[in-house]
Amino acid sequence: MKKIFLLIAVVLAFAAEKATAQQQQPIRFGIKAGLNLSQWEGETVNSAQSLIDFTNGSVSRKMREGFHVGGYVTIPVMPGFEIEPGLSYSQKGTKLIGSIPNESGGVLNILNPRATITNKAEYIDLPIMAKVYIGEGFHVFGGPQVSYLVSNKIKAEAGALGFNVLNREFDATEQFNEFDLGLAGGLGYRFANGFNMSASYDYGLQPIDKNGSFETFNRTIKASVGYTF
């Protein structure tokens, strides 16, 4: 992990040196926020899929809805190419939903019993994006991302007829890795007035389980709007 932070520091120092040599393109700051759709991929998901198949669809996987908010620094390196480090709070995780179907109808269909288990992971993301402009404002970007786990909770809910009979939340932070290393990339458009929008995908490379008992990775789709000052 120390080597990763050292590499990031070298990249930023190089980009800052290039930006200093190009006084006509100043360093700019920005803010952004948006929606997250997160899921797990790996052994845990394969086990969940087996459960889904066994129950004939009574259990289903869903993406956890969340959000992200933070800021970034745009460092011009040369015309049409920028380095953009950022820092943001980001919600990730996954969700399992179970129900008890009754194909013949009857009381179970009326009660609509349902249970939901949600992994609520909260991270601080540090992406270092290389951004290439294609045309006036359209751009593609990609690069490494280091994420720090702030908290990880498991929420269990169960109910019928629209009423909750179980609503408990467990702190599972100690069971998950403190850091997550991954890649991020996407595309976006920045208007002349500084307003911008983008869509990206976070691809986790490091298993999230601290004990190494299962290999499962974070996957997150992000849709963002922002403003560069």
Cβ-based neighbour number of residue 203 at 10 Å: 14
- According to the model, what pLDDT value does residue 153 have? 95
Residue 107: strand, helix, or coil: helix
Write the class of the CATH domain 2-183+190-228.
mainly beta
Strands (E), 100-178: 114-133, 138-160, 163-171
Q: Are 68 and 33 in contact (CB under 8 A)?
A: yes
- According to the model, what pLDDT value does residue 69 have? 98
For each of the chain's 229 residues, which pLDDT tens digit applies? 555 555 555 555 555 555 455 556 799 999 999 999 999 998 776 655 555 554 555 667 889 999 999 999 999 999 999 999 999 999 999 998 876 555 544 444 545 567 888 999 999 999 999 999 998 899 999 999 999 999 999 998 877 666 666 788 999 999 999 999 999 999 999 999 999 999 999 999 999 998 877 789 999 999 999 999 9
